[in-house]
Homo-oligomer: A and B are copies of this chain.
């Protein structure tokens, strides 16, 4: 099996200033095309160290992915190291990269400095892969070791730029090496904790053939993703096996399985709404706009999302959403009664087919005996035969503020998804 090393350059990862998500994402993408990461390392911005470490990676693996140290500033010296490592006599000026730098900076209205120009300089013996998202170039080097070639790709450290380059790099790797067939498909679930899920599907998992492998990929906002991989010769057999196994899985866990591949609750909600040509509005207290943010992070969401109110202060709940002040006096803002009035209020205010509302205590303050930090009421408004209806549920978590907000949000989205599914089309 093709192997890869990932080397991260830069003090910020080493000393724990930045959490290293790059090597995590890179490893996932590589494993999808059947490349196994067998070594990972992080080193500082020291020339000798970078060179000797990369030599080690080249020895260890067929593919080497380097991230970081490509910024325009003095402390970034990856390019110098790569020039020596590749025995380049000097640097060449990459017209492609220069054009990208020019485009990015001019659209941002930033004057181009010599430092920017220098970013288009790359070691002679490298091939530039277009980095459309940033000013730092992505470079590809080829090395020979005992008649076996090993490829090194140097990526910028900025996560979204590195991520953006991965598809091109994976395509390039596949074209350079003949990789055995790896097929995979990911089922995305929400609402069943990983351990419970594992027990539920234990028998199914044990029944998988030796050519198949299951991976659990839990994610707080997306849910638990189940990636089923097939390592074999027959693509047809692989596709059939994967579909067959997943259709059985769907019977076991039902609506908790909500999508496939790179999806999310907000994307699936968007599909459901567009299928019904229905519209959505939001009324958020404790989630403070995060539901609206996720809904609108989906391209085309303006087709079904009309808007929302972030009603942090009670006056806003009363004045903008029409919540009855007596409701808040009697039951408190964090109550079934209040959140249901919020959902119905915004449903009418923005004249939409569906609405979702939240009111809870994210913490660290504001908790009480019967309503501790982590308590959240969620309501979904909708129409049943032209009559406005509302459903609500209470969820409880005991985490820090940001995690509570994250969980309130994803649970509200999931409750909205299930309500749309079950409401008459």
Contact = CB atoms under 8 A, between A and B. Distances in A.
Interface of A: 8, 11-21, 23-31, 36-44, 71-75, 103-104, 107-111, 113, 115-116, 133, 135, 158, 160, 164, 193-196, 198-199, 205, 214-218, 220, 227, 282, 284, 287-293, 295-297, 299-302, 305-313, 315-316, 319-320, 349-351, 363-366, 372, 374, 396-403, 405
B28 A403 contact: no
B12 A16 contact: no
A199 B44 CA distance: 23
Contacts of A350: 313, 315-316, 320
14 contacts: A12-B215, A14-B37, A14-B38, A16-B23, A16-B31, A38-B44, A74-B198, A74-B205, A290-B293, A300-B365, A307-B309, A307-B320, A308-B309, A309-B320
Please give me the 7 A-B residue pairs with the lowest Cβ-Cβ distance, nearest first.
A288-B296, A289-B292, A16-B27, A289-B289, A16-B28, A307-B316, A40-B42
A135 B311 CA distance: 34
B42 A299 contact: no
Nearest to A295: B288
Nearest to A159: B220
B75 A216 contact: yes
A345 to B, nearest CB: 12
Nearest to A32: B16
Contact of A39 (B43, B71, B158, B399): B43
B199 A17 contact: no
Given A133-B400, A284-B289, 8 more contacts: A16-B25, A16-B26, A40-B42, A107-B397, A158-B220, A282-B289, A284-B292, A319-B349
Given A215-B11, A289-B293, A403-B160, A305 B312 contact: yes
Contacts of A43: 38-40
